[in-house]
């Protein structure tokens, strides 16, 4: 199992989405976080399972929420570059890696 590392902006992305879901329905934000955790576990255990998304990055698509975890693997770790909304500015995260 490879170690996960995160771009600093990922925490900001998650917090904003968590708060929005909590405003919609109490507890929905926690369900969003739980699904993200499940995604991190799956990526950590099986990082090569998901197809290449763009520019050498892979994408894990959440089941219940319209988000994807965008990541890149190396021999030593897995770098999570974004937790992106699938419909809003889908390539905004490229600015983080260029």
Residue 64 lies in a domain: yes
Domain with 54 in it: 3-86
Instruction: Look at the chain and report how many structural domains it folds into.
Output: 1
Query: What would the two tokens of residue 7 be?
Result: 């771009």
CA dihedral 22, 81, 69, 14 (to 10 degrees): 0
Confidence (pTM): 0.90
The upper half-sphere exposure of residue 73, i.e. CA atoms within 13 Å in the direction of its Cβ, equals: 18
Looking at the domain assignment, is residue 98 inside a domain? no
Domain-embedded: residue 96:
no
Q: Considering the domain boundaries, does residue 97 fall inside one?
A: no
Separation between Cα atoms, residue 18 and residue 26, nearest integer Å: 10
Looking at the chain, the whole-number percentage of residues with pLDDT higher than 90 is 73
pLDDT digits (tens, 9 = 90+) for 44-80: 999 999 989 888 899 999 999 999 999 999 888 999 9
């Amino acid at each position: 199992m490879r170690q996960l590392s995160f771009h600093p902006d990922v925490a900001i992305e998650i917090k904003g989405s968590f708060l929005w879901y909590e405003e919609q329905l109490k507890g929905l934000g926690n369900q969003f976080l739980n699904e993200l955790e499940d995604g991190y576990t799956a990526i950590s255990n099986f990082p090569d399972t998901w197809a290449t998304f763009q520019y050498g990055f892979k994408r894990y698509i959440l089941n219940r929420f319209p988000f994807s975890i965008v990541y890149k693997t190396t021999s030593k770790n897995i770098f999570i570059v974004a937790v992106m909304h699938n419909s809003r500015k889908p390539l905004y995260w490229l600015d983080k890696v260029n």
